[in-house]
């Protein structure tokens, strides 16, 4: 009997313990969880009632049909319409930006929506704006001077309101100026009935057809003229100047500076000359999107007979030919300004023209001459300044035409961060190891050939490095393995002023000058080095007349059988082969190869804003 009573007592105690446990759990759950949700829900009702009381008092603030109004918790405090609301379980206040929105529907009934935010406690209310889908592309191109007509909105959908009227989307086109090329934004704004807002944008690129722009900004000749004209243009990563509009609306450009030096050759036809082949076989291959934008069968006239600068022939009376790349003519110089010497085409550089005096003498542009040009021996070096014609698919996207802000065309885009060097355009500028370089080629392994933009200077003194062959050197031919040779000085001494961690020990070809042969048939010797010199025909191996001015002549890699040195005269950009004993030491314009997988950090690849390498 006692044993049975004992079992009953134990069972009763167990049940009692379980009951007490659940009572405690329930009590704690109520205090720390459910009561707080109850308090929050109660405060939501207080906020709603306060808002209704507010609009009863200020009925003029109620929205018209189809619109929404909002009153904040702070507004209700100020109006004395609601007691202080606290974060459940604390003495901290709820967010005073909490709100109640009221919407008047088509039945003229008011719908209220509460959004109370008390720390982690937040009302379950729609906070997402509608989705806007546009007609057409997200980026559109508009011609200069035309009226911008927006393509409009295709649809607007909201999770709560469903399909909405596209006419209620506010379209802001106020920032689009079709009288100024550039990139603009059109903003589309939509609200649902809770006034949740969504904004999307469309990019509008206002462009100016190049031929149309040039026609508007030149006289009846369609030539730019004068010496201070805003006609700099960026094409294929290189800086050019606009010359004129042709009868077929193609636009003629000339490279802003001479690029290289080429011995013209004594062939009767221009199309057989070294210069022609350098232009159309070598230079043309370094242009980006050439097939898309350059007139491949452009007409040129060489050997034109000029009897008087005041009476230029309207038609070619010499040799006509078709090719993608050519040169300027005397006619171009004259039409660029009645006074040839005052033309923007005449820089301090001297360069070949299309007009030939005879098989031995070719005309060159020379601003030191009274006429602006003179005859030059076809058997000597002359600077080459390429000319191309762009078709009517080219337009201006931005820029003012200044040297520091050239017109940017639509043919390519600037590099993005982390883009590799090997993927960029020949002619673009790069800052490396404190010096400014230009990309001039890419080898089969992806290594990038670079040339310094100007003569190499001591980073501390800012004076140009001067080097020359030692008297003990019997053969003045570039060789980095021989002490006293300029190749050795360049790779053992000047290399110390560059970071060599990304420079490739590369093979270079030393051309052997032979004026009786086309330059592509010159004998070449191969040598391996970290640093080299430019050859006469390398891109941008002359000096930059519009950028850094150089004090000293700089050496070329070309080898003379007479054991003379080959250098570029910084006074006129021409290459010469002369005795070092007469001209002494020269400075250098370094050529090197960088690893092509180096990444770009920033910049636009221009002289004023080069790419910086990570």
Average pLDDT of the residues in 460-468: 91
pLDDT score, position 221: 87
Residue at a domain's end among 100, 122, 144: 122
Q: What is the pLDDT of residues 137-167, one digit of tens each?
A: 999 999 899 999 999 999 999 988 899 999 9
Does residue 410 fall inside a structural domain?
no
Does residue 572 fall inside a structural domain?
yes
Is residue 144 within 8 A of residue 213, CB to CB? The reply is: yes
Q: What is the pLDDT of residues 120-139, one digit of tens each?
A: 999 998 889 999 999 999 99
**Higher pLDDT residue, 115 or 160?**
115
**pLDDT grade for 558, boundaries at 50, 70 and 90:** very high
pLDDT score, position 157: 95
Is residue 578 within 8 A of residue 565, CB to CB? The reply is: yes
Does residue 370 fall inside a structural domain?
yes
Domain housing 142: 131-211
> 534 and 424 in one domain?
yes
> 380 and 237 in one domain?
yes
Q: Is the pLDDT of residue 266 over 50?
A: yes
Does residue 424 fall inside a structural domain?
yes
> 156 and 285 in one domain?
no
> 521 and 386 in one domain?
no
Residue at a domain's end among 344, 373, 390: 390
Which residue shows structure tokens 């004023």?
608
Q: What is the pLDDT of residues 290-306, one digit of tens each?
A: 999 999 999 999 877 77
The total number of structural domains in the chain stands at 4
Does residue 580 fall inside a structural domain?
yes
Does residue 13 fall inside a structural domain?
no
Cβ count within 10 A of residue 432? 21
Q: For position 171, which CATH number holds?
A: 2.60.40.10
User: pLDDT exceeding 90 applies to what percent of the chain?
Assistant: 65
pLDDT score, position 30: 46
pLDDT score, position 314: 74
What is the full DSSP assignment across 487-556? HHHHHHTGGGGS--TTB--EEEEEEB--TTS-GGGS-EEEEEESEE---TTSTT-S--TTSPPPSS-EE-
> 232 and 205 in one domain?
no
Q: What is the pLDDT of residues 501-550, one digit of tens each?
A: 999 999 999 999 988 887 778 999 999 999 999 999 999 999 776 655 55
Is residue 59 within 8 A of residue 90, CB to CB? The reply is: no
Sign (positive or negative) of CA dihedral 598, 604, 606, 608: negative
| Alpha-carbon 301 to chain mean position | 35
Measured CA to CA, the distance from residue 440 to residue 538 in angstroms comes to 8
Q: Which tokens sit at 550?
A: 């150089």
Q: Is the pLDDT of residue 25 over 80?
A: no
Is residue 317 within 8 A of residue 329, CB to CB? The reply is: no
Average pLDDT of the residues in 360-374: 75
Output the CA–CA distances (angstroms, integers) from residue 382 to 34, 369, 370, 591, in the order listed.
92, 16, 20, 21
Q: Which residues contact 289 (CB under 8 A, 6 or more apart)?
A: 236, 411, 412
Q: What is the pTM of this model?
A: 0.76
> 176 and 231 in one domain?
no
Q: Is the pLDDT of residue 265 over 90?
A: no
Q: Is the pLDDT of residue 347 over 90?
A: no
> 324 and 433 in one domain?
no
Average pLDDT of the residues in 475-497: 95
Output the CA–CA distances (angstroms, integers) from residue 585 to 426, 462, 469, in the order listed.
30, 17, 8
Measured CA to CA, the distance from residue 606 to residue 448 in angstroms comes to 17
Smallest Cα–Cα separation from 301: which of 255, 263, 343, 332?
A: 332
Is residue 354 within 8 A of residue 270, CB to CB? The reply is: yes
Residue at a domain's end among 122, 149, 180: 122
Measured CA to CA, the distance from residue 62 to residue 205 in angstroms comes to 42
pLDDT score, position 308: 67
> 604 and 461 in one domain?
yes
Strands (E) in 149-277, as ranges, are 153-158, 162-164, 170-172, 182-191, 197-209, 232-235, 238-245, 251-255, 260-263
Q: Is the pLDDT of residue 103 over 60?
A: yes
Average pLDDT of the residues in 40-50: 93
> 437 and 358 in one domain?
no
Is residue 153 within 8 A of residue 171, CB to CB? The reply is: yes
Q: Is the pLDDT of residue 82 over 60?
A: yes
> 564 and 491 in one domain?
yes
Q: How many CA atoms lie within 13 A of 299 on its CB side?
A: 9
Is residue 482 within 8 A of residue 572, CB to CB? The reply is: no
Does residue 15 fall inside a structural domain?
no
Average pLDDT of the residues in 457-469: 91
Smallest Cα–Cα separation from 236: which of 427, 398, 446?
A: 427
Q: How confident is the prediction for the chain on average, in pLDDT?
A: 89
Q: What is the pLDDT of residues 419-435, one digit of tens each?
A: 999 999 999 999 999 99
Q: Is the pLDDT of residue 551 over 80?
A: no
Does residue 483 fall inside a structural domain?
yes
Which range of 296-305, 316-325, 482-491 scores highest in mean pLDDT? It is: 482-491
> 607 and 561 in one domain?
yes
> 466 and 339 in one domain?
no
Measured CA to CA, the distance from residue 385 to residue 255 in angstroms comes to 6
Smallest Cα–Cα separation from 328: which of 382, 267, 407?
A: 382
């Amino acid at each position: 009997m006692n044993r049975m009573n004992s079992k009953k007592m134990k069972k009763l105690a167990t049940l009692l313990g379980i009951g007490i446990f659940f009572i405690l759990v329930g009590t704690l759950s109520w205090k720390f969880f459910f009561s707080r949700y109850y308090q929050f829900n109660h405060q939501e009702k207080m906020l709603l009632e306060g808002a209704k009381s507010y609009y009863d008092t200020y009925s003029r603030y109620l929205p018209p049909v189809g619109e929404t109004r909002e009153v904040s918790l702070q507004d209700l405090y100020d109006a004395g319409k609601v007691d202080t609301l606290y974060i459940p379980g604390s003495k901290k206040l709820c967010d005073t930006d909490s709100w109640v929105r009221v919407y008047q529907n088509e039945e003229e009934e008011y719908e209220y929506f509460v959004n109370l935010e008390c720390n982690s406690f937040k009302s379950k209310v729609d906070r997402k704006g509608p989705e806007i889908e546009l007609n057409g592309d997200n980026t559109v191109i508009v011609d200069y001077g035309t009226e911008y007509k927006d393509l409009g909105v295709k649809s607007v959908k909201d999770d709560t309101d469903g399909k909405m009227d596209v006419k209620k989307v506010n379209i802001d086109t106020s920032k689009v100026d079709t009288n100024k090329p550039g990139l603009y934004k059109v903003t589309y704004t939509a609200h649902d009935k809770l006034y949740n807002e969504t904004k999307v944008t469309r990019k509008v690129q206002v462009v100016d057809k190049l031929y149309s722009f040039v026609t508007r900004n030149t006289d009846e000749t369609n030539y730019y003229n004068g010496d201070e004209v805003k006609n700099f243009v960026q094409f294929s990563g290189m800086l050019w100047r606009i010359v004129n509009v042709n009868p077929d609306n193609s636009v003629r450009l000339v490279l802003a500076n001479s690029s290289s030096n080429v011995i013209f050759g004594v062939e009767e036809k221009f199309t057989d000359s070294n210069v022609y082949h350098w232009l159309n076989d070598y230079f043309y291959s370094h242009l980006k999107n050439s097939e898309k934008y350059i007139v491949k069968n452009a007409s040129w006239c060489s050997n034109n007979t000029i009897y008087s600068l005041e009476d230029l022939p309207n038609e070619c009376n010499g040799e006509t030919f078709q090719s993608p790349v050519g040169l300027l003519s005397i006619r171009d110089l004259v039409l660029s300004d009645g006074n040839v010497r005052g033309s923007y085409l005449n820089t301090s550089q001297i360069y070949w023209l299309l007009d030939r005096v005879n098989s031995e003498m070719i005309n060159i542009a020379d601003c030191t001459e009274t006429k602006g040009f003179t005859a030059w021996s076809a058997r000597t070096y002359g600077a080459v300044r390429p000319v191309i014609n762009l078709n009517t698919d080219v337009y201006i996207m931005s820029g003012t035409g200044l040297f520091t802000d050239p017109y940017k065309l639509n043919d390519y885009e600037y590099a993005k961060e982390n883009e590799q060097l090997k993927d960029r355009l020949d002619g673009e500028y790069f800052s490396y190891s404190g010096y400014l370089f230009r990309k001039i080629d890419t080898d089969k392994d992806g290594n990038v050939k670079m040339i310094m933009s100007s003569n190499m200077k001591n980073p501390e003194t800012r004076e140009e490095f001067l080097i020359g062959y030692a008297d003990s050197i019997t053969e003045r031919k570039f060789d980095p393995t021989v002490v006293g040779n300029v190749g050795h000085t360049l790779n053992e001494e000047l290399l110390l002023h560059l970071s060599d961690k990304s420079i490739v020990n590369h093979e270079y070809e030393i051309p052997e000058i032979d004026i009786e042969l086309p330059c592509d048939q010159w004998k070449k010797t191969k040598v391996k080095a970290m640093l080299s010199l430019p050859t006469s025909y390398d891109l941008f191996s002359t000096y930059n007349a519009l950028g850094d001015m150089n004090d000293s002549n700089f050496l070329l890699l070309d080898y003379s059988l007479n054991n003379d040195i080959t250098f570029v005269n910084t006074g006129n950009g021409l290459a010469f082969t002369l005795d070092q004993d007469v001209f002494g030491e020269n400075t250098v314009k370094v050529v090197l190869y960088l690893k092509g997988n180096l990444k770009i950090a920033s910049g636009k690849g221009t002289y004023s804003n080069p790419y910086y390498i990570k």
